[in-house]
Homo-oligomer: A and B are copies of this chain.
Amino acid sequence: MSDTLVAEKKPVAGNIHGIESWPVQRTGKSRLKETNFSHLPFGHVFSDHMLVADYADGAWREVGIVPFGAITLSPANLTLHYGQSIFEGIKAYKNQQGEAAIFRPDKNFDRFLKSAKRMAMPSVPREIFLDGMMQLVALDKDWIPTEEGSSLYIRPLMFATDDLIGVKPGKKYKFILFTSPTGPYYNKPLKLYVEDYYVRACEGGVGAAKTAGNYAASLYPTEEVIRKGFDQILWTDAKEHQYLQECGTMNLFVVINGKVLTAGLDKGTILDGVTRDSVIQILRGQGIDVEERLVSIAELISAHQDGSLQEVFGSGTAANIIFISDMQYHGQNIALKPHKQWEIAPMLLKELNDLHYGRIEDTREWMWRV
């Protein structure tokens, strides 16, 4: 579908950049002062404004920044019934000088366009997704928390707004981009349950798309393993339940004998994580071997038994770099070595945090200064 843009940017009085941008309707009542920045559970608090764009008759027409607030939908809204919805997750950080920057939003934009294609949805123009995001974050810059591990989580969302219930792609869509100040997603090493019955995604499915249904499907199995004392599921492949996939909220890396292994993207069953890609680039930049390939449970168990399994960690925008403490497979626990003996995951965590909070040089131009 086309990504025609009909709406035009306009010069707006009082605009932060003093340049042309989307029209802004400022809130008359900021919630900033009543927000408790020392308690920011993920995804509960939203900043003052949101970007909204509406698609109809083959083009994006109404685009603007308005106060964060409720939207009105028909009970026959197509998305509520058939789940035609995609989203992204991006983070903005503030450095010690109070300057704000967004981590690799262009990678999320690329993935958003791929998700849109798979879910039979229109493209969103760069001017809306990226320029709009920069403008919104600049406007609500005071909402970016400064504490280490905290950030402004940015959530672009697109969904069908047709008010009819035929099983067909929508003809009308809404793109909303809002932000949420947030503390760390996980704050301790995780215990993973290696799933051997339920499936997150299979080849030919929508596992590579960041679409609503993937998450809905994971809820019941995840509740089951949480009840058993685990934190997350490590999904395995749909055909044999032999190969590591991802965790639903993060990609997974395994370090065996100094080599870093992670599931490849070629089967289309896992998400092409932006943090995953960043991890791979950082590691390769340091001369560390990274293999993107099928990694079997058998290989993991064997490495655990012969002592060559060194580290297991997750990566994701919400999760950042997360250490794994244990993985259970068929009742057998694979306990990782104490994290103090680890080298790679702690290095990555430090490297990414230093980059996010502006303490090291941004040689790859990953931080987009707002």
- Measured CB to CB, the residues of A under 8 A from B are 41-44, 46, 50, 68-76, 79-85, 87, 117-120, 155, 157, 159, 164-169, 176, 178, 180, 197-199, 202-206, 211-220, 222-223, 238-239, 248-249
Contact = CB atoms under 8 A, between A and B. Distances in A.
A136 to B, nearest CB: 13
Contacts of A69: 75
Closest 8 CB pairs of A and B: A213-B213, A83-B212, A43-B165, A199-B204, A82-B215, A83-B216, A120-B219, A202-B202
Given A85-B81, A216-B83, A73 B76 contact: no
Nearest to A199: B204
Identical copies in the complex: 2
A46 B206 CA distance: 31
Contact of A157 (B81, B178, B198): B81
Nearest to A215: B82
Contact of A217 (B70, B205, B239): B205
A213 B84 CA distance: 7
A273 to B, nearest CB: 15
A80 B85 CA distance: 7
Contacts of A219: 82, 84, 119-120, 167-169
Contacts of A180: 76, 165
Interface centre among A72, A80, A117, A120 (most CB of B within 10 A): A80
Given A164-B43, A238-B203, A73 B71 contact: yes
Contacts of A80: 79-80, 85, 157, 159, 212
A119 B216 contact: yes
A211 B216 contact: yes
Contact of A216 (B178, B212, B238): B212
Contact of A72 (B41, B71, B79, B239): B71
A70 B198 CA distance: 36
A168 B43 CA distance: 11
Contact of A165 (B118, B155, B168): B155
25 contacts: A42-B165, A46-B75, A46-B76, A70-B72, A72-B72, A72-B73, A75-B157, A75-B178, A76-B155, A76-B180, A79-B80, A80-B80, A81-B155, A83-B212, A83-B216, A119-B220, A120-B223, A167-B218, A167-B222, A168-B219, A169-B220, A198-B204, A206-B216, A211-B216, A213-B213
